[in-house]
């Protein structure tokens, strides 16, 4: 058999899950078994390699995604461990954008939890093949088949168990491999490094045969070759099953399901084998698409070193004050010292150093090629979502969408010395985190930071004092409102003034109309060059965009408004870009005042899992918070309540929920929509 090319032996995978399902522990074990770490770090001791930030170690949660590279059976695996907490969804989103496959970790006791649904749907959005790992099989109440059934009910893809557990809770010893019909048992003395493979004992033989039959039946539906064997009553060989399973996984038809317990070091080696067997290499995924900025036509780039360079910057990180840019190279090669072209910023950038990352440690490399995830020092202008390419063959890859912040908090520096550090620090943090917004309010002389949730802002404030030595006083969290209009209106704006020695004139007529909630703003330019010369059209649109940033009621951004530029006037020698810009902004503000403006508040989708006996109290409390119950799903002893609740009513909810349910209920919330306040 010919040796396989490097790119076909590469895997770019993410590990995603609900908070506390154990994904960082799974990553730590993978690093240990692939020889990257000499000892296993534990999240609860604050020693996990992948959770290297002090804020992560104290809270025992993952905040930023960490990238690392390891080798397993002649394959190079690039792994990103992502956060599970809903406030850091953007970290998961931007990592999924550049990955080829993912391991979704579920807890064997809790099963499919709200945040694991969110990440699953995010992975579906980017068409990413998945392997499921049911972790914590040693915990009391663990139930492998219950979790598989929950996955079937919640997701559109079909889960296919390729293992079944041997024992459960404190008797969990290993797994039965349904493809090779062998039993794997881990011993507790070698930290799970060694395990024995034996024939399946009599008491498990019937269950194994039954589950294998089910597995082959599902695969026969996806694979014609296997279907013929199945119908002829012949046994497919393990290699035929693996080939069919690989194809069905990459086509997003099935999700192989494995199980184990990462904390007790059982079940990790077969998971690594599954990554190599079933998840795609960069060659197996469709070529990346982008737009050529010169021709405006769609182009594709195959995953090959021979093609022109196309790479996406998916994350910016500060490391000892220097800016580190993480790249996914889709095609072509880069070497340190190269010049690359940032097609979004229209700037050339020089690569000072090329690094392969191992969480927060690094190794210098001279060049990197298609399919790799690398970090770069030396890029000044590049921000998250920018495309780097070859200037002769420009291409712009699809840009990332970022969530709008829903919560804000006023902060002020404790001393003038802190003020200077604060401004610098916030610029750097905004580079790193596209969901953080910063605004300076003149009337209160306060800086307002906005983000995705209370925890998000708490971490930002913590990093300000710890990493940047900028001490701040913090105000109470506040809701970020929006404004919109409710009526269709036509209006005009005129500007006529002498500024300096020069006359400035502009007259612009516009139509404003409300748009459907959540569709965003739209500007339609119907101006002809006879009315207003084309060179001023950009200034007019810019004036309107700037006016949309602060509304007429309480200076909150205006959303879901359609603007048509219909008419205007031009005076030779007097008309200016400045004049048109101010006239357009005036027309927009006057129009909003007449169009019945209204305040909108953020509504959150809240997902609560509570023991049945507290359900009445929890629902009563949600109703008291102006919430609307969307669904109640009983899941055995617990029930899941989904509700839409205004964010304003959710401050301090975790404390209230704990005291109402003796600390036994949990909840997550995620932004749903804006609605009338």
597-653 confidence digits (pLDDT tens): 999 988 888 888 788 888 899 999 999 999 999 988 877 677 888 999 998 888 878
* Helix (H), strand (E) counts: the chain: 15, 37
Checking if the pLDDT of 89 tops 70, the result is no
Distance (Å, whole) CA 12 – CA 99: 5
Angstrom distances, CA of residue 537 to CA of 13, 136, 200, 497, 534: 46, 61, 75, 20, 5
**Which of 507-521, 582-596, 627-641 has the lowest average pLDDT?**
627-641
DSSP H or E run through 83: none
- pLDDT score for 60: 45
DSSP 8-state code for residue 665: -
Determine the average pLDDT of the residues in 508-524. 91
Residue 640: count other Cβ atoms within 10 Å of its Cβ: 16
Determine the average pLDDT of the residues in 121-129. 81
Distance (Å, whole) CA 489 – CA 595: 6
Answer with the residue of higher pLDDT: 139 or 600.
600
Q: How confident is the model at residue 521 (pLDDT cuts 50, 70, 90)?
A: very high
Q: How confident is the model at residue 59 (pLDDT cuts 50, 70, 90)?
A: very low
- pLDDT score for 79: 82
Distance (Å, whole) CA 298 – CA 4: 31
63 phi and psi angles, rounded to 5 deg? -115, -50
42 phi and psi angles, rounded to 5 deg? -110, 140
Determine the average pLDDT of the residues in 515-535. 89
Checking if the pLDDT of 54 tops 60, the result is no
Tell me the pLDDT tens digit for each residue of 474-495.
Answer: 887 788 889 999 999 999 999 9
- pLDDT score for 91: 60
Checking if the pLDDT of 275 tops 60, the result is yes
Checking if the pLDDT of 287 tops 60, the result is yes
Tell me the pLDDT tens digit for each residue of 26-42.
Answer: 877 877 777 654 444 44
Q: Which residues contact 614 (CB under 8 A, 6 or more apart)?
A: 660, 661, 662, 664, 665
Angstrom distances, CA of residue 265 to CA of 33, 105, 262, 289: 10, 15, 5, 41
Tell me the pLDDT tens digit for each residue of 548-577.
Answer: 988 899 888 899 999 999 999 999 888 899
Q: Of 559, 416, 403, 409, whose CA–CA distance to 486 is shortest?
A: 559
Q: Taking CA 179 as the corner, what is the angle to CA 175 and CA 180, rounded to the nearest 5 degrees?
A: 80
The encoded tokens of residue 94 equal 């931007």
Checking if the pLDDT of 47 tops 70, the result is no
151 phi and psi angles, rounded to 5 deg? -60, -45
Checking if the pLDDT of 592 tops 90, the result is yes
Output the pTM of the full model.
0.69
Tell me the pLDDT tens digit for each residue of 8-29.
Answer: 888 888 888 776 777 778 877 8
**Which of 329-338, 345-354, 659-668 has the lowest average pLDDT?**
659-668
Checking if the pLDDT of 214 tops 70, the result is yes
The encoded tokens of residue 378 equal 């030396």
Q: Of 376, 379, 373, whose CA–CA distance to 282 is shortest?
A: 373
Checking if the pLDDT of 540 tops 90, the result is yes
- pLDDT score for 19: 67
Q: Taking CA 354 as the corner, what is the angle to CA 353 and CA 360, rounded to the nearest 5 degrees?
A: 100
Angstrom distances, CA of residue 647 to CA of 481, 604, 642: 10, 6, 15
Determine the average pLDDT of the residues in 424-432. 82
Mean residue pLDDT across the chain: 82
């Amino acid at each position: 058999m010919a040796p396989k090319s490097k790119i076909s032996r590469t895997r770019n995978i993410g590990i995603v899950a609900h908070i506390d399902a154990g994904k960082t522990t799974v990553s730590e074990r993978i690093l240990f078994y692939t020889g990257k770490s000499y000892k296993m770090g534990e999240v609860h001791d604050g020693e996990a390699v992948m959770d290297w930030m002090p804020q992560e170690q104290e809270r025992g949660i993952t905040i930023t995604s960490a990238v690392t590279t390891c080798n397993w059976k002649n394959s190079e695996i690039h792994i990103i461990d992502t956060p599970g907490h809903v406030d850091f969804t953007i970290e998961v989103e931007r990592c999924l954008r550049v990955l080829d496959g993912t391991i979704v970790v579920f807890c064997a006791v809790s099963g499919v939890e709200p945040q694991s649904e969110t990440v699953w749907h995010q992975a579906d959005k980017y068409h990413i093949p998945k392997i499921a790992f049911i972790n914590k099989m040693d915990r009391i109440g663990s139930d492998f088949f219950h979790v598989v059934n929950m996955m079937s009910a919640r997701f559109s893809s079909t889960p296919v168990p390729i293992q079944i557990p041997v024992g459960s809770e404190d008797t969990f010893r290993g797994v039965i491999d349904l493809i090779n019909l062998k039993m794997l048992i881990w011993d507790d003395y070698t930290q799970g490094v060694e395990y024995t493979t034996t024939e399946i004992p009599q008491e498990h033989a019937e269950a194994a045969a039954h589950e294998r039959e089910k597995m082959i039946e599902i695969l026969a539906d996806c694979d014609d070759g296997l279907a013929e064997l199945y119908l002829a009553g012949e046994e497919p060989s393990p290699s035929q099953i693996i080939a069919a399973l690989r194809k069905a996984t990459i086509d997003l038809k099935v999700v192989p399901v494995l199980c184990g317990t990462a904390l007790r070091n059982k079940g990790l080696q077969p998971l690594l084998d599954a990554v190599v067997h079933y998840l795609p290499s960069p060659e197996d995924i469709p070529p990346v698409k982008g737009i050529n900025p010169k021709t405006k036509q769609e182009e594709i780039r195959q995953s090959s070193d021979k093609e022109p360079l196309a790479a996406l910057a998916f994350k910016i990180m500060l490391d000892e004050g220097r800016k580190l840019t993480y790249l996914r190279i889709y095609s072509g090669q880069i070497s340190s010292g190269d010049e690359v072209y940032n097609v979004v910023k229209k700037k050339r950038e020089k690569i000072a150093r090329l690094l392969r990352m191992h969480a927060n440690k690094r190794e210098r490399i001279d060049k990197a090629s298609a399919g790799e995830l690398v970090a770069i020092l030396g890029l000044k202008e590049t921000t998250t979502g920018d495309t780097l390419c070859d200037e002769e063959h420009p291409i712009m890859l699809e840009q990332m969408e970022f969530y709008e912040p829903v919560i804000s908090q006023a902060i002020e520096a404790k001393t003038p010395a802190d003020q200077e550090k604060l401004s610098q620090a916030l610029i750097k943090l905004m580079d790193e985190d596209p969901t953080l917004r910063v605004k300076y309010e003149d009337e209160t002389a306060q800086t307002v930071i906005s983000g995705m949730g209370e925890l998000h802002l708490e971490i930002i404030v913590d990093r300000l004092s710890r990493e940047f030595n900028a001490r701040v006083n913090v105000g109470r969290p506040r809701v970020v409102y929006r404004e919109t209009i409710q009526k269709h209106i036509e209006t005009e704006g005129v500007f006529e003034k002498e500024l300096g020695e020069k006359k400035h004139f502009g007259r612009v007529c516009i139509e404003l109309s409300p748009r459907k909630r959540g569709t965003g703003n739209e500007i339609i330019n119907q101006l002809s060059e006879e009315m207003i010369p084309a060179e001023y059209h950009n200034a007019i649109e810019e004036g309107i965009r700037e006016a949309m940033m602060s509304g007429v009621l309480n200076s909150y951004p205006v959303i879901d408004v359609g603007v048509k530029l219909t008419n205007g006037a031009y005076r030779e020698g007097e008309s200016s870009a400045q004049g048109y810009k101010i006239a357009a902004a005036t027309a927009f503000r006057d129009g909003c005042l007449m169009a019945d403006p209204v305040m909108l508040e953020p509504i959150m989708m809240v997902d609560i899992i509570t023991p049945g006996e507290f359900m009445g109290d929890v629902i009563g409390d949600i109703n008291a918070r102006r919430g609307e119950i969307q669904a109640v799903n009983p899941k055995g002893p617990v029930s899941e309540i989904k509700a839409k609740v205004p964010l304003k009513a959710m401050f301090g909810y975790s404390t209230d929920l704990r005291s109402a349910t003796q600390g036994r209920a949990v909840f997550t919330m995620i932004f749903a929509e804006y609605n009338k306040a």
